[in-house]
Amino acid sequence: MKKIGIITNPNKEGAVEATRKLIRWLGKRKVKIYLELETSTSLGRSDGYPREKIPSQVEIILVLGGDGTLLSLVRLMGNRKVPILGVNLGGLGFLTEITLKELYQVLEGALKGELASDWRMLLNVRVHRKGKLIATYSVLNDAVINKGAVARIIDLETSIDGHYLTTFRADGLILSTPTGSTAYSLSAGGPIVYPSLHSLIITPICAHTLTNRPLVLPEGMNVRVKLKSKGGDVLLTLDGQVGFALEDEDVVEIEKARNRICLIRTPTRDYFDILRTKLKWGER
């Protein structure tokens, strides 16, 4: 690989200096570097590219920051199959699982074409209003329908493949991928699902009916959620970063996307190591 994109969160401690060191290391190996615009500016340079342009220019993208930085990139990938290497500059991340200490070992393998990677499914999320499609999104973690701070419990009429499931009376509903099963869904009582599986998880948030439990669906199923509450402050949130205000009778349609995302993983840890570390299993 001779064309590498770099996206850094300059607000992370040590991020700028780590990026400078990385650029020097890649330069010695004759690698052409495509810096994201904000990254370039933080380094005092003027050779940056808009973030949305980088996936079409490179063979691999390095993300130095946290899971949020990586999620913001995923929305710009479209159907491009460029591998993403996430480097966590804080604690160990679920998505940015590679540490700075491991980075150069992993990069040496990448430059030789030796990559350990996982393909992760995405969700395609569409919003319909009065029969018209008004918004479309792709998400890696989750789509969340949630009431505002002062709104009452909301009613969410939910069907699967055209078959009525139930009307959830709850604070909200989380539609999650296996990758996102360890994010908001987990905190709401949802299951942990191995990230390479292709499934869709429905997790109610503080359901009024205690027998409403999380539900795991196989890939290929189509979920439609209609907002049946009037006059409420209800928001659709995508990967915790993009918000869309919903109105009464709006329909949110969720299904597995056709495209996937390739994430490079560390060769020194498996997923269960990450679970034990992040969730502090076994600690007293």
Range(s) of the chain covered by CATH 3.40.50.10330: 3-116+265-279
Q: Which residues are known catalytic residues? A: 67
pLDDT for the residue numbered 215: 98
pLDDT for the residue numbered 78: 86
Contacts of 131 (CB under 8 A, 6+ apart): none
pLDDT for the residue numbered 92: 64
Please give the sequence-ordered ranges of beta strands (E in DSSP) within 107-238, or none if there are none.
117-129, 132-139, 142-147, 154-160, 163-170, 172-176, 199-205, 215-218, 223-227, 234-238
Distances (CA, A) of 147 to 89, 158, 189, 194, 227: 33, 16, 18, 29, 11
Range(s) of the chain covered by CATH 2.60.200.30: 123-258
Give the span between the Cα atoms of 284 and 282, in whole angstroms: 7
Residue ranges in the chain whose pLDDT is less than 70: 91-92, 151
Tell me the whole-structure pTM to 2 decimals: 0.93
CB atoms within 10 A of CB 129: 14
pLDDT in tens, 162-184: 999 999 999 999 999 999 999 99
CATH number for the region 123-258 comes to: 2.60.200.30
Of 99, 108, 61, residue with least CA distance to 268: 99
Of 156, 149, 188, 159, residue with least CA distance to 170: 156
pLDDT in tens, 67-110: 999 999 999 998 899 999 999 887 667 888 888 888 999 999 88
Longest dimension (CA), the chain: 61
What is the CATH class of 3-116+265-279?
alpha beta
**Residues β-bridged to residue 64:** 8, 87
Determine the distance from the C-alpha atom of residue 188 to the mean position of all C-alpha atoms in its chain, rounded to a whole number. 17
